[in-house]
Structure 1
Amino acid sequence: MRWEEVREQYPDEWVVCEALVSHSKEGYWYIDEVAVIDRYEDSKIAMKRYYELHREKPNREYGFFHTSRENLQLREKWSGIRGPR
């Protein structure tokens, strides 16, 4: 699901997602498609769910975001570590 679709379907909510399609460019990580796993009104509960998922499957790309964000562009901490997808 594209982020625009997530924002329309879950307005003003926190969503826990798995990044399905993403790419890196100039020190930023862009998430192009996600699978929504859960949605919450409370950020603390969303963060807790994110950490549970990350512990269960640490090799997967999970995140939690508020749908007020216009796009999923994140600064990479270690530029060059994440390769093209």
Structure 2
Amino acid sequence: MIWEEVKNAYPNQWVIIEAIEAYTEGDKRIIAQITVVNNFQDDNNKALLQYLQLHRKHRERELYVVHTSRPELDIIEQKWIGVRADI
């Protein structure tokens, strides 16, 4: 699916999506193909809890929680710089 199809199929809902085809352009993540993992009417808390459970089990999957009222997927890729402490 593409984002327009997701918005039409799940209007004004929270959805957990998985990027099937994606690439980075500058600092934006461009998602060309999406699959909907689950949808939630107005309950963003349930969506976030399920996202966390899925993310812990399947860290290799590219999952996002988004609301379908967004005109487009505007996902900014963040570079994480960690601090290591020698113990």
Q: Which TM bucket (shorter chain)?
A: 0.7 to 0.9
Answer yes or no: is 1:55 the counterpart of 2:60.
no
User: Which residue does 2:31 correspond to in 1?
Assistant: 31
CA distance in 2, matches of 1:74, 1:17: 12
Q: Quick one: which amino acid aligns to residue 58 of structure 1?
A: R
Q: CA RMSD in A?
A: 1.3
Task: Measure the CA separation in 1 of the matches of 2:27 and 2:37.
Answer: 27
Equivalences, count: 79
Q: C-alpha separation between the residues in 2 aligned to 1:73 and 1:20?
A: 16
Where does the alignment leave 5 or more consecutive residues of structure 2 unmatched?
81-87
Regions of 4+ moved over 2 Å: none
Superposition pairs for residues 5-84 of structure 1, below 5 Å?
5-40=5-40, 41-78=42-79
Q: Percent identity?
A: 34
Unaligned 5+ runs, structure 1: 80-85
The 2-side partners of 1:60 and 1:35 are apart by: 12
Compute the TM-score of the two structures, normalised by the length of structure 2: 0.85
Displacement of 1:19: 0.7
What TM-score, normalized by structure 1, do the two folds share? 0.87
